Amino acid sequence: MTPKVDTAPDTWVGSIVLSLAGRDRKRLFVIVSLDEVNGYVYVADGKLRQIQHPKKKKSKHVKIVDRAPSEVCEACRSGRITNRMLREALAPLSSNLR
């Protein structure tokens, strides 16, 4: 069962998403920023895609799975997010995907 997550774009930053398309499909990421005008999200996982070079993906190519812990969400919004924080937020869900 998928957790209920608010789907308003302004609440997407800090959401844990599953990539649905591209060579990174079936991988988990955290949305670190948005481009609402063009319909893109910028995602990173702290490993393959680090925060310094987030992946630009169309919002229709990701599915919101869960919400990251509140400290990760706040760090994303304020720009103080680290790769380690991303990896730690994704670790519990990544083990369920394998």
| Residue 87 clears pLDDT 90, i.e. is over it | yes
| Residue 47 clears pLDDT 80, i.e. is over it | yes
- Determine the topology of domain 10-97 in CATH: SH3 type barrels. (2.30.30)
Strands (E), 1-98: 15-19, 28-35, 40-44, 55-58, 62-67
What is the pTM (predicted TM-score) of this model?
0.85
| Residue 22 clears pLDDT 90, i.e. is over it | yes
The pLDDT tens digits for 52-65 are 999 999 999 999 99
| Residue 6 clears pLDDT 60, i.e. is over it | no
